[in-house]
Structure 1
Amino acid sequence: METLSIALQPYKDTVGAVAGVVTIAQFFSGVFMCKDIYRNKSTAGIPSMPFIGGFVIGVLMLKYSLILDDAAMLIVNLSAVVLNILYTAFYYIYSQDRNVEIFKPLSYGVALIACLLGYATWEDDTLLEHRYGLIVTILMLALIGSPLIELNEIIASKDASCIPFPLTFMGALCTALWLIYGIILLNVFMIVQNLVALVLCVVQLILCFMYPKALVNTDKKML
């Protein structure tokens, strides 16, 4: 690992810059989901979790950026919060069951934000950065892997349309770049975090290619 890190050192700034740009670009991948919603005039088959979860994680990461006093991180996560609010509002317009799809998960998300921000106010400052960062990382990985909760149903129905392909593809690209950056820095926490996230994204992408929505719809028409 150390040998690889040394070999990649000349590319440190380039990898970091590209990872930052791709991360911001990832936030706009939700536009493709909104396009599908608008075309179908319905949210059927499209979960709200990527948007609501993105908003929750964005707010929590905003707090983390303030803890780290990182201006660049602050701007990135502020952009994530604003965009996910817009995506959620768009989702709301076309939602058929707003209580289940919007209000219920959003209330859980707001409660989680309140709890963690409250925790951040009383935790020891010397421990806050590591512990809060660990909590947010776990939540982020849970959000990334959330579509796999329906793994049995995906395999049984041969339909992976519940997995948001644009977000997952961009997520895989982002985590791969940050993984390389973590290797360059020899940051174990960053390496483990992005390696797990990358595996989760790759598994979901494999499912998307194995069970594409278009194939399911074609099969149904043939029947």
Structure 2
Amino acid sequence: MEALSNILQPYKSIVGTVAAVVTIGQMFSGSFLCYDIYKQRSTKGIGIMPFAGGLIISAPLLDLKTIIKNKSTEGMPFPIIFSGSIVTFMWLLYGIILNNSILVLQNSVAFSLCTVQLALFVIYPSKPKEEKKKAKKAD
């Protein structure tokens, strides 16, 4: 880790600034979820856990059984997970630059959890297949 830290030292202030800015930006990622609630005029399919995602990064994984059963990531908040991935990666990089093992460990775990959640979006669609068929029939 020390060798990588030495290589990244010239970028210390840039990485630190970007980490701070994306952390602030992540605070606004919930607004996308709120907009979805506004558009559908209902909170159907959206639990409280996405809003706790900033506090508990693995919160969307609590529904893993349902996601796999339904083969759908419908209830997972993509904007929050995506921004969380960027934020944790930047803080991981900054922890490496600082050669701070606590920061590296914490953000390695968080980034791994975010990566698993993003992988679920690749594996499963955001809406169940049955719902897509119903939408096509309605058109």
With normalisation by structure 2, the TM-score equals 0.89
Whether the 8 Å contact between 2:74 and 2:128 is mirrored in structure 1 is: no
Whether the 8 Å contact between 2:60 and 2:76 is mirrored in structure 1 is: yes
Whether the 8 Å contact between 1:161 and 1:208 is mirrored in structure 2 is: no
Instruction: Find the aligned partners of 1:17 and 1:204 in 2 and give their Cα distance.
Output: 26
Identity within the alignment, %: 50
Pick from 70, 75, 99 the counterpart of residue 157 of structure 1: 70
* Structure 1 alignment gaps of length 5 or more: 58-139
Structure with greater helix share of residues: 1
Alignment RMSD, CA only? Answer: 1.8
CA shift for structure 1 position 153: 1.4
Which residue of 2 is the match for residue 179 of structure 1?
Answer: 92
Which residue of 2 is the match for residue 28 of structure 1?
Answer: 28
With normalisation by structure 1, the TM-score equals 0.57
Instruction: Find the aligned partners of 1:202 and 1:38 in 2 and give their Cα distance.
Output: 28
Larger radius of gyration: 1
Does residue 98 of structure 2 align to residue 199 of structure 1? no
* Structure 2 alignment gaps of length 5 or more: none
CA shift for structure 1 position 146: 1.7
Corresponding letter in the other structure for 1:218: K
Deviation track 1:74-122 (CA, whole Å, cap 9, x = no partner) reads xxxxxxxxxxxxxxxxxxxxxxxxxxxxxxxxxxxxxxxxxxxxxxxxx
CA shift for structure 1 position 39: 0.5
Instruction: Find the aligned partners of 1:37 and 1:220 in 2 and give their Cα distance.
Output: 21
Corresponding letter in the other structure for 2:26: Q
CA shift for structure 1 position 210: 1.7
Count how many residue pairs are aligned between Structure 1 and Structure 2.
136
Instruction: Find the aligned partners of 1:200 and 1:19 in 2 and give their Cα distance.
Output: 18
CA shift for structure 1 position 221: 4.3
Q: Any idea what SS the aligned residue of 2:58 has?
A: helix
Change (3 A) 1:210 1:219: farther
Corresponding letter in the other structure for 1:161: E
Most deviating of 29-38 and 209-218: 209-218
Which residue of 2 is the match for residue 42 of structure 1?
Answer: 42
Corresponding letter in the other structure for 2:132: T
